[in-house]
Amino acid sequence: MGGMLFQAFVYLCAAVIAVPVAKRLGLGSVLGYLVAGIVIGPVFHVVGSETEQLQQFAEFGVVMMLFVVGLEVKPQLLWQMRARLLGLGGLQVLATAGAIAAIGMLLLEHWQTALAAGLVLSLSSTAIVLQTLSEKGLIRTDGGQASFAVLLLQDIAVIPMLALIPLLAVPHMAGVAQHAAAAAGAGAVQAAVGGHGADMSLVAGLSSWAYALVVLGAMAAVVLGGHFLSRPLFRFIASSHLRESFTATALLLVVGIALLMTLVDLSPALGTFLAGVVLADSEFRHELESDIEPFKGLLLGLFFITVGAGIDFGVLRDQLSTVLALTLGVMAIKGALLFVLGRLFRLRAADHWLFALSLAQVGELGFVLLAFSTHNAVIAPEQAKLLSLVIALSMLLTPVLFIGYECLVLPRLRGDAEQPADAIDEQGTVIIAGGARFGQVVNRLLMAAGVRTVVLDHDAAIVELMRRIGIGSYFGDASRPDLLRAAGIEQAQAFVVAIDDRDRAVTLVEYLRREFPRLRILARAFDVDHLYLLRTAGADVALREVFDASLELGAATLRALGRHPFDVEKLKRAFRKHDMETLEELYELWDRDLELSKNRALLERVRARTAAELELTARDRTLLHDRSERGWTPPPRGYTDAMESGESDDGPTAP
Amino acid sequence: MLTPSEPIVAMPTAGRILVLFAHPSPVRSEANAPMAAAARRLDGVTFVDLYAEYPALEIDVDREQQRLRGHDVICFQHPLYWYSTPAILKEWQDLVLEHGFAYGAGGTALRGKVFFSAITASGAEAAYCAAGYHNFSIRELLRPLEQTARLCGMTYLPPFALFGAGTAVDEGRIHAHVADWVRLLTALRDGRLDMARAASLPRLNHDLDGLLGAVGAALEG
Ligand SMILES: Cc1cc2nc3c(=O)[nH]c(=O)nc-3n(C[C@H](O)[C@H](O)[C@H](O)COP(=O)(O)O)c2cc1C
């Protein structure tokens, strides 16, 4: 227990110190974690052998990340991406693997080893790239999307690679390899990401067509289960109104799918991605995303730390020039090929550079394939050690490339001809918190005007009802920052607060105003006191929920009494104006720390006004009457007579 | 009941122009929209989009009267609707030009100011004459405005008019028209318009070069 606590303490400490510093220096969190890992590992040796086991555990962060990524990718989007996914992604893997294998054949003894090295090095780091892209807000740019397509294809391509590698075994290496692999615990890594090599397998010994059937069955289970079973389950859990039970369900979902995929020798990352895509249309999407997010973040962080901590300085020192040359060479080849492909697929200047620079490293899947290749006697253990270093070093250099992109490429391009803007926000969205009767009318009006809206409600029954009548809405507590982020608050232009909890509405407005100074906030108020609270909290517009309806009903009553409708209209306008002025006047006297019933000055003013209205009903009526009668007043009697006979000398006369 | 306006004090900054723009469907406008955009950008021009400010036609009389007091040139900019203004400008007249403010006892607030309309009409200019399809010239049709201005003691100038407005963009006439519009406003602002000559024309852009030319040439020479 003590040992575990100590390790947890060291890792957390490293993360807590290194990440904020790295971010403050503009280096991004990934580099922060990597450096933290180097410091506690090879530099100060605070942590040691447990790194590898930790890494296996931490790779689950990648699985979670792909789930979250999947939630962002609706099936239609995936279909739209198909050309890039297959074309750009497929060509990247084939060309890179081919080029590196060709060079490898000149340097290495066995062509099999060269080919395996090509495959290993063709992959890029989903973890680093996606994390960095989304941290820098680049994921929605064209370059970001292209990178994403390639990463996705690489994740898929690992499956056939894992099938291919055993066929490449170099006969005389076999004996050594088994031994070395076991010693290095290499098999462990692949359990999480690769799937193959797991202890449990339902498909060992199946014929290939049976295996294909099982694979298809597992995929179908994820898709159909995600589509039909998840909703009733989530609805049931949501009705318990227990936050942690929902979180547990979300985790269960991800772990369950990962397990299923492992059992049938498929990549868990791919399975959870698929599940994410299936759930991208669900009303629980934002809730799931914000529940998984912290786990994903922590595990990924841990993963990066273990990469840093795992760098073998001994080998590095002995073969420094080889490692450096190999790393830079691999990155140069990958970058150059990516650049050519970017041109082929017509990426524009900035996106083109982003695409080429972001994917030039080798990724965590490389470790998996490497271990698998050693295990299958395709790559010798010493070679694997060297390649491991190359992979780690290239990952370490990636944040530097991103910084280069920001500091060297972007400023230069900015001066160039104007680029058409990326389709980041075709139109600002509106988030509506609270989808019950009030928020629903607001939403219907906005939708009728063609505005994109996101409705959030913490009552699953309301969300279900709205979805049934075709209104896109999501389950979740709108006062939670993480959920707001998942709902796209950063891109939103306006926020409508229509939740039915007085206090939470005020807190929400305060939070929104503090975090998003430029956001337009419009709030529903229950009464005058609430209205003032919302205004003080920073709402741009706050309206009393029943005022307009009451006014209309009053007007209808007057019409029912036989008053002329346009007179009623004028009276209504005058009354509203009078009431607004009163509201303004009382706001000056209002004190948020004083209950309305204890605010003497304010009560005094209200009493005075009411008294005036009650006792001097007649006078007050005249006041309002004058107001509503100001317009369309004819000139005084006799005015025209004077004018037309030319006697007037007061007003100007027509020439 | 109504407080009579204060007598004319010294004119505020000479040549300040108030453009009261009325278009109930500006998003679909082809002719008025670019004119409005140009006027909005001009220094010395206060541009008011009436339908934007009073979407429910609830005109704030006090605010509008204050605006009138602060300007020397008042312009209605609008498409011609049934040989007249869109509804909000009629409402504006009915409410803002009160007895005691614009006319009648003590109603001197508008005296000495200049008034004109900037209109767009889909009909052809040739059709706006006694023998034409519309039977009357544009200046004749706008007589109610002309007389209203006179009653309030303002100098009336003929309209700045674009005919065939529906095809002005397609036929590439709109740029020249907007440029003329800007020239006119600038000249009015800088006091460079030959008022006497302008008042006698059928429309202001009938001979804009001539109107500005005399003074312009003097300035340049
Ligand atoms: C209700 C209505 C009434 C109109 N009446 C006239 C008219 O009397 N004479 C005329 O020439 N054009 C008339 N038009 C055409 C408009 O003047 C023309 O569409 C407008 O000037 C085009 O300017 P815009 O592109 O800024 O909207 C009318 C249009 C509408 C919608």
Verify that A621 and A575 share a domain, yes or no.
Answer: yes
Domain assignment present for A491: yes
Nearest Cα neighbor of A353 from A396, A397, A413 is: A413
Q: Which of A164, A138, A593 is nearest to A373 (CA)?
A: A164
A411, A439, A468: which is the final residue of a domain?
A411
Mean pLDDT of B116-128: 96
Question: In DSSP terms, which residues pair with A432 in a beta bridge?
Answer: A455, A496
Residue identifier of the C-alpha nearest atom 3 of ligand 1: B81
Same-domain pairing of A435 and A336: no
- The pick from B25, B81, B162 for probing ligand 1's pocket by mutation, whose C-beta has the most ligand atoms within 8 angstroms, reads B81
Distance B119 CA to ligand 1 centre (A): 9
Closest CB from A626, A630, A650 relative to B105: A650
Whether residues A38 and A178 fall in one domain: yes
Name residue A411's amino acid. P
Nearest CA in chain A to B1: A626
Query: Of chain A residues 558-597, which have a CB less than 8 A from chain B?
Result: 573
Q: Where are the beta strands (DSSP E) in A466-507?
A: 473-475, 492-497
Same domain membership, residue A601 and residue A476: no
pLDDT, position A542: 95
What are the domain boundaries of chain B?
Answer: 17-220
Could you tell me if A471 and A504 lie in one domain?
yes
According to the model, what pLDDT value does residue B65 have?
97
Asked whether residue A244 is domain-assigned, the answer is no
For residue B218, the model assigns a pLDDT of 45
The CATH number for A459's domain is 3.40.50.720
Q: d(Cα A181, Cα B126) in Å, to the nearest integer?
A: 95
Euclidean distance between CA atoms A433 and A238, whole angstroms: 17
Q: Are residues A566 and A541 in the same domain?
A: no
- Closest to B61 (Cβ–Cβ): which among A626, A630, A634? A630
Question: Contact, A264 vs A214, CB < 8 A?
Answer: yes
Q: What is the mean pLDDT of chain B?
A: 89
Strand partners, B162: B120
Q: Strand A520-525: give its sheet, edge to edge.
A: A473-475, A453-457, A429-433, A492-497, A520-525, A541-544
- Tell me if A460 is assigned to some domain: yes
Question: Distance (Å, rounded) from C-alpha B197 to C-alpha B195?
Answer: 5
pLDDT at A428: 57
Are A633 and B2 a contacting pair at CB < 8 A?
Answer: yes
pLDDT digits (tens, 9 = 90+) for B144-181: 999 999 999 999 999 999 999 999 999 999 999 999 99
A654 Cα to chain B: minimum distance (Å): 5
Residue A579, Cβ neighbours under 10 Å: how many?
13
CATH no. for residue A127?
1.20.1530.20
Please identify, among A411, A444, A465, the residue that sits at the C-terminal boundary of a domain: A411
Ligand 1 contact via B32 beta carbon (within 6 Å):
yes
A471 and A505 assigned to the same domain = yes
Contacts of B107 in chain A (CB under 8 A): 650-652
Provide the 10 A C-beta neighbour count for residue B83. Answer: 15
Domain count, chain A: 3
Report the nearest atom of ligand 1 relative to the CA of B168. Answer: 25
Residue A594 is part of which domain span? 556-632
- In CATH, the number for domain B17-220 is 3.40.50.360
Are the beta carbons of B99 and A655 separated by less than 8 Å? no
* C-alpha of residue B122 to centroid of ligand 1, in Å: 5
Residues of chain A with pLDDT under 50: 177, 180-198, 416-427, 615-617, 619-620, 647-655
A633: DSSP letter:
P
Comparing C-alpha atoms, which of B196, B182, B213 is closest to residue B40?
B182
**Can you give the pLDDT at residue A614?**
54
Q: Which two tokens mark B215?
A: 């003074």
* CA angle (A457, A462, A463) in 5-degree steps: 65
| Closest in A573, A639, A654 to B104, CB measured | A639
Give me the interface pTM, i.e. the ipTM: 0.78
Give per-residue pLDDT as tens, A489-541: 888 999 999 998 888 899 999 999 998 999 999 999 999 889 999 999 999 99
pLDDT of residue A285: 86
Q: Is the CB of B85 under 6 A from ligand 1?
A: no
Residue A474 has a pLDDT of 84
Within a domain: residue A485?
yes
Instruction: Check whether residue A529 and residue A566 sit in a common domain.
Output: no
**pLDDT given at position A191:** 41
For position A630, what pLDDT does the model report?
Answer: 78
Q: Which residues of A touch B147 (CB under 8 A)?
A: 654
Looking at residue A642, its pLDDT comes to: 61
Q: Nearest residue of B to residue A634 by CA position?
A: B99
